[in-house]
Amino acid sequence: MPGFEVFGDEERSQVNDVLENGVLMRYGFDGMRNGHWKALEFEKAFAARMETKHCQLVSSGTAALTVALAAAGVGAGDEVIMPVFTFVASFESILMLGAVPVLVDIDETLGLDPKAVEAAITSKTKCIMPVHMCGSMADLKALAEICKTHNLLLLEDACQAIGGTFDGKPLGSIGDLGCFSFDFVKTITCGEGGGIITNSDDFKINADQFQDHGHDHIGNNRGAETHPALGYNFRISELNAAVGIAQLGKFDAILEKQELYYNILAEELTPIPEITFRKVPEGGVQNHSFVNFFLPTQEIAKKVHTALGKAGVEACFYWFDNNWHYIHGWEHLRNLTSFQNLSSEIKSQIQDLNTTDFSKSDAWMGRTISSLVKIGMTEDQVRERAVNIKKVILQVLS
39 sits in which H/E element: helix 38-49
307 sits in which H/E element: helix 298-310
Which phi and psi (to 5°) does residue 91 adopt? Answer: -80, -25
Which phi and psi (to 5°) does residue 375 adopt? Answer: -75, -10
Sign (positive or negative) of CA dihedral 233, 239, 242, 244: negative
The alpha carbon torsion through 36, 37, 41, 44 (nearest 10 deg) reads -140
Q: Please state whether the peptide bond connecting residue 2 to the residue before it is cis, i.e. omega within 30 degrees of 0.
A: yes
Rounded Cα distance, 398 and 393, in Å: 9
Q: Which SS3 state, helix, strand or coil, does residue 357 take?
A: coil
Contact 95, 142 (CB under 8 A): no
Q: Which SS3 state, helix, strand or coil, does residue 218 take?
A: coil
Contact 55, 196 (CB under 8 A): yes
Give the chain's end-to-end CA distance (angstroms, integer).
32
CA nearest to 93, candidates 191, 188, 194: 194
Rounded Cα distance, 50 and 170, in Å: 6
Q: Which SS3 state, helix, strand or coil, does residue 106 take?
A: strand
CA nearest to 374, candidates 257, 226, 218, 236: 257
Rounded Cα distance, 373 and 171, in Å: 19
Rounded Cα distance, 133 and 106, in Å: 11
CA nearest to 152, candidates 125, 184, 134: 125
Which phi and psi (to 5°) does residue 97 adopt? Answer: -90, 5
**Starting from the edge strand earliest in sequence, which strands make up the sheet with 316-317, in order?**
276-277, 290-294, 368-372, 316-317
The catalytic site residues sit at 186
